[in-house]
């Protein structure tokens, strides 16, 4: 019997056992918590018991996780469909690190490019780089996908460290996004960063040209107030951007894994090189933990194994990420790309259809907002949604410490409520205390029953700092990697993005009047509607 089959058999055998029953073991909370530095991952409020954990660890071992992990950190070309190494970890490696790709150490060039980006950011922050109207007050980062979600999320998360120009992010090709961001900005004191590796991404370049046109109305040489993160130096030069303001990164850094390098230029400008270095330090600390910790005490491994248990073994199709930290409001959106673009596959490395489900649907919102939106479904809906709570022990506003206590109380209460629920007998007693009786008491009580026995994890840390955020992001990166290894898929390509891009390119001329007869009936009707009203 395979380990997959043994896991499924174990889950079926104990499917009716309440999670709360596992806490008869007074040591469960500690035994099912993993530490990485001062960060703790508590997965004790899941149905995983010691036997299930042993089987899950054996699953990871049998999938060759240790060898795959070593291959990634060594620069092997584990992105097999594209023939590339996967070295986002190199971007935060230590100063003495040596990492080779095709026999050449990539670290000297990487460090040099990071130093250039740091110097540019510091010069801009200090006013040594100016616009036509003086010191730069606002920076607009134009990108999409990994060139937007990561840096936008990190910039918001590290708001207490903002002491540079205001940094704004534009990603959507919808003109409303660009218009709303540029409204109120002074083009003579604004710098635009265009983040596109190839400098051909249609949404990004459309927005970049619009920003250049906006700036050209008042700025004599708009190209002088642009910078780029790209490897296509011929195209950036053609656009009018000076070579000293172009920052590149290698093809072994995937877009959704790229916030650690020049793609994070907007973050560097917002918080400064020192705080950004702390962000890298946190990620490197998680890398070290991921490499060194035994699998059962390894935070990325156990977070991944909890995900495998819930999705592939228990059959729960979604995962809610619930940060009780307003500054992590963009974390669920960032993780949607990181996890679903990485592991939303249907074939394995060998090109054959997968034998089981791949990655779950990832979604979420910050608490406490979500409590007044979708928690109703989480608590009383017919589908089980595993929840992942994130919480800092303290906030950044000492004068508002009572706010943070209330926030923390809500977070802990939600995970407890998911675990415990409320029985019909408890609900009846509640209604009886309100003076109800007979059939009406029973009817009202049934509306107040909570099934409970709904799983959750809690990631808790002292405070959201650059170092802590680096740990969190690296934790989730490695979680994706581990799940991909276990499922036998390539987590580092994204061919599923391509077809829509190709069809969108073809539809542009159709919307302008070209022949639409080759399109399906629905698309033709929608095109006709737009043509008639555009």
pLDDT (tens digit, 9 = 90+) per residue, 27-53? 999 999 999 999 999 999 999 999 999
The catalytic residue among 183, 372, 402, 447 is 372
Q: pLDDT digit string (tens) for 366-386?
A: 999 999 999 999 999 999 999
C-alpha distances in angstroms, 99 versus 41, 96, 111, 126?
30, 10, 12, 34
DSSP for 22-53, written as a single string: GGGSTTHHHHTEEEETTEEEE-TTSS--HHHH
Rounded Cα gap, residues 480 and 294, in angstroms = 18
Q: Across the chain, which distance is largest between two alpha carbons, in Å?
A: 81
CB of 531 closer than 8 Å to CB of 511: yes
pLDDT at 428 over 90: yes
Rounded Cα gap, residues 355 and 172, in angstroms = 36
Q: Is 262 exposed, middle or buried (0-12, 13-18, 19+ CB in 10 A)?
A: buried
Average pLDDT value for the chain: 97
Confidence of residue 501 (pLDDT cuts 50, 70, 90): confident
The catalytic residue among 21, 109, 397, 501 is 501
Q: Write out the two tokens for 227.
A: 């910078």
Residue count of the chain, please give it: 534
State mean pLDDT over 56-75: 98
C-alpha distances in angstroms, 71 versus 77, 284, 496?
8, 17, 25
Q: Write out the two tokens for 281.
A: 């330090």
Q: Write out the two tokens for 428.
A: 């009846």
- Whether residue 316 lies in the annotated active site: no
Rounded Cα gap, residues 311 and 291, in angstroms = 25
State mean pLDDT over 500-505: 88
The catalytic residue among 88, 289, 310, 341 is 341
pLDDT at 17 over 90: yes
Give the per-residue pLDDT at 137: 98
- Whether residue 501 lies in the annotated active site: yes
Task: For the chain, state the CA radius of gyration.
Answer: 25
Q: pLDDT digit string (tens) for 124-171?
A: 999 999 999 999 999 999 999 999 999 999 999 999 999 999 999 999
Confidence of residue 433 (pLDDT cuts 50, 70, 90): very high
**Percentage of residues in the chain with pLDDT exceeding 90?**
97
Closest CA to 231 of 260, 253, 210, 212: 253
How many CA atoms does the CB half-sphere of 291 hold within 13 Å? Answer: 13
**Helix-helix angle 3-13:50-62, to 10 degrees:** 160
Q: Is 435 left (phi over 0), alpha (psi -120 to 50) or beta?
A: left
pLDDT at 120 over 90: yes
pLDDT at 304 over 90: yes
**Helix-helix angle 424-433:438-447, to 10 degrees:** 120
Rounded Cα gap, residues 83 and 394, in angstroms = 45
Rounded Cα gap, residues 481 and 63, in angstroms = 12
State mean pLDDT over 498-502: 87
Confidence of residue 177 (pLDDT cuts 50, 70, 90): very high
**Percentage of residues in the chain with pLDDT exceeding 70?**
100
Residue 458 CB partners (closer than 8 Å, separation 6+): 40, 41, 42, 45, 388, 389, 390, 391, 411, 412, 415
Give the per-residue pLDDT at 498: 85
How many CA atoms does the CB half-sphere of 126 hold within 13 Å? Answer: 8
Q: Is 76 exposed, middle or buried (0-12, 13-18, 19+ CB in 10 A)?
A: middle
Rounded Cα gap, residues 119 and 265, in angstroms = 11
- The answer, yes or no, to whether the previous bond of 368 is cis (omega within 30 of 0) is yes
- Whether residue 396 lies in the annotated active site: no
Q: Write out the two tokens for 80.
A: 């097999």
Rounded Cα gap, residues 389 and 456, in angstroms = 7
SS (H, E, C) 331-363: HHHHHHHHHHHHHCCCECCCCCECCCCCCCEEE
DSSP state of 78: -
CB atoms within 10 A of CB 81: 12
CA end-to-end span of the chain: 62
Rounded Cα gap, residues 126 and 165, in angstroms = 10
Give the per-residue pLDDT at 101: 95
Beta-bridged to residue 33, according to DSSP, are: 42
Give the per-residue pLDDT at 497: 86
């Amino acid at each position: 019997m395979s380990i997959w089959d043994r896991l499924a058999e174990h889950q079926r055998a104990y499917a009716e056992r309440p999670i709360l029953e596992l806490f008869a073991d007074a040591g469960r909370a500690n035994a099912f918590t993993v530490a990485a530095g001062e960060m703790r991952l508590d997965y004790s409020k899941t149905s995983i018991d010691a036997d299930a954990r042993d089987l899950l660890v054996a699953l990871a071992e049998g999938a060759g996780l240790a060898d795959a992990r070593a291959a990634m950190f060594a620069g092997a070309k584990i992105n097999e469909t594209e023939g590339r190494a996967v070295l986002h970890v190199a971007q935060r490696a230590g100063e003495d690190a040596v990492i080779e790709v095709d026999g050449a150490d990539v670290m000297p060039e990487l460090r040099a490019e990071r130093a250039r980006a740091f110097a540019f950011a510091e010069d801009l922050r200090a006013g040594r780089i100016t616009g036509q109207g003086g010191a730069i007050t606002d920076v607009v980062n134009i990108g999409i996908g990994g060139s937007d979600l990561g840096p936008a999320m990190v910039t918001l998360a590290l708001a207490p460290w903002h002491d540079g120009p205001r940094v704004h992010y534009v990603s959507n090709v919808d003109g409303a996004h660009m218009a709303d961001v540029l409204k109120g900005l002074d083009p003579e004191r604004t710098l635009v960063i265009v983040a596109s590796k190839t400098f051909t991404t249609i949404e990004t370049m459309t927005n970049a040209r619009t920003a250049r046109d906006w700036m050209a109305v008042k700025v004599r040489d708009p190209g002088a107030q642009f910078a780029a993160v790209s490897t296509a130096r011929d195209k950036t030069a053609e656009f009018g951007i000076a070579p000293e303001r172009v920052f590149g990164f290698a093809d072994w850094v995937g877009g959704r894994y790229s916030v650690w390098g020049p793609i994070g230029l907007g973050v560097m400008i917002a918080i400064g090189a020192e705080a950004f270095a702390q962000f890298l330090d946190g990620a490197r600390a998680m890398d070290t933990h991921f490499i060194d910790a035994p699998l059962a005490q390894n935070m990325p491994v156990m977070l991944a194994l909890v995900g495998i248990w819930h999705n592939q073994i228990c059959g729960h199709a979604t995962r809610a990420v619930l940060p009780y930290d307003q500054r992590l409001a963009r974390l669920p959106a960032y993780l949607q790309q990181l996890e679903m673009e990485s592991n939303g596959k249907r074939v394995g490395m060998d090109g054959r259809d997968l034998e089981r489900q791949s990655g779950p649907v990832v979604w979420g919102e910050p608490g406490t907002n979500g409590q007044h939106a979708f928690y109703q479904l989480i608590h009383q809906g017919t589908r089980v949604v595993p929840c992942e709570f994130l919480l800092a022990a303290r906030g950044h506003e000492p004068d508002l410490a009572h706010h943070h206590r209330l926030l923390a109380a809500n977070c802990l209460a939600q995970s407890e409520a998911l675990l415990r629920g409320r029985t019909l007998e408890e609900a009846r007693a509640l209604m009886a205390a309100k003076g109800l009786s007979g059939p009406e008491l029973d009817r009202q009580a049934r509306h107040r029953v909570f099934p409970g026995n709904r799983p959750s994890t809690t990631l808790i840390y002292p405070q959201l700092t650059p170092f802590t955020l680096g740990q969190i992001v690296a934790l989730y990166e490695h979680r994706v990697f581990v799940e991909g290894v276990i499922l036998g898929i390539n987590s580092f390509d994204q061919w599923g993005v391509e077809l829509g891009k190709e069809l969108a390119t073809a539809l542009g001329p159709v919307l302008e009047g070209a022949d639409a007869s080759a399109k399906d009936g629905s698309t033709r009707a929608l095109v006709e509607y737009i043509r008639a009203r555009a």
